[in-house]
């Protein structure tokens, strides 16, 4: 988002107290998401990006009309793009909550009802990424086992349907062609940019944009862990929702 929309101001909330989301109940996820949306509403944001596949799958339809800003859920936003790919067989690696929701095949079949969609949950992948354990032999064995099981379905593409999973691409591409895997975040960012342009919501002011991070627990750990992915320059602010 920062690379294609550099003039926007960004507020990021990391729910570190309640993660990982992939194994939480529907009611828990709805409560978490609603509190975060209320927080963003207080900050008077114009749009909120639901970068988490799990919350997009489980909470978006139930909460989308409750706030005064535009909400972009990752699954519903990118499914239409992926459904138009010239393929017949699609694999999805995701959390148990995302797979159990059936949201990816539901959204894809609205546009491409003939596409065969094979979902598979990978409950240990988030912990591997969070713990920086991707190079351990036991972690690579878990990843390889999941990939072998998915490849039995002969997918032409595989969606990495969790924000953490693309960070396992260095491991996955040793086991299968990198072109097999789709990082939906790239499609998602382009979708958001195009939609904001249509709605005339792009920030065109020539000002110095800012970014601010908020977390629900352990700001120091979030800063250290998050810096693996993005240069977090300031200490995140602790927020108790």
Which residues are annotated as catalytic?
52, 162
User: For 20, phi and psi rounded to 5 degrees?
Assistant: -80, 150
131-141 burial, b for 16+ CB within 10 Å, e for fewer? eeebeeeebbe
Q: What is the Cβ-side half-sphere exposure of residue 92, based on CA atoms within 13 angstroms?
A: 32
Q: Provide the β-strand partners of residue 117.
A: 90
- The DSSP letter of residue 236 is P
Q: How far apart are CA 101 and CA 57, in angstroms?
A: 6
Whole-angstrom distance, CA of residue 30 vs CA of residue 97: 12
Cα of 1 vs its chain's centroid, Å = 13
Q: Comparing C-alpha atoms, which of 65, 11, 68, 56 is closest to residue 32?
A: 56
Q: How many CB atoms lie within 10 A of CB 224?
A: 11
* Cα torsion 93, 179, 171, 154: sign: positive
Contact assessment for residue 8 and residue 1, using Cβ atoms and an 8 Å cutoff: yes
């Amino acid at each position: 988002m920062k690379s294609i929309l550099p003039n926007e101001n960004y507020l990021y909330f990391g729910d570190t107290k309640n993660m990982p989301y992939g194994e939480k109940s529907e009611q828990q996820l709805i409560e978490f998401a609603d509190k975060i949306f209320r927080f963003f509403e207080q900050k008077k944001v114009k749009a909120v990006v639901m970068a988490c596949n799990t919350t997009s799958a489980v909470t978006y339809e139930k909460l989308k009309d409750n706030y005064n800003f535009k909400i972009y859920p990752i699954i519903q936003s990118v499914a239409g793009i992926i459904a138009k790919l010239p393929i017949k067989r699609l694999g999805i690696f995701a959390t148990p909550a995302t797979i159990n929701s059936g949201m990816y095949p539901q959204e894809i079949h609205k546009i491409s009802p003939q596409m065969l969609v094979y979902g598979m949950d990978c409950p240990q992948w988030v912990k591997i990424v969070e713990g920086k354990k991707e190079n351990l032999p036991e972690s690579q064995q878990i990843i390889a086992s999941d990939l072998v099981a998915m490849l039995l379905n002969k997918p032409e593409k595989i969606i990495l349907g969790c924000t953490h999973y693309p960070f396992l691409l260095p491991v996955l591409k040793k086991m299968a062609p990198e072109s097999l895997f789709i990082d939906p975040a790239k499609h998602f960012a382009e979708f958001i940019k195009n939609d904001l342009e249509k709605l005339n919501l792009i920030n065109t002011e020539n000002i110095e944009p800012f970014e601010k991070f908020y977390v629900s627990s352990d700001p120091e750990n979030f800063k250290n862990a998050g810096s693996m992915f993005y240069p977090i320059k300031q200490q995140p602010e602790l927020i108790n929702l």
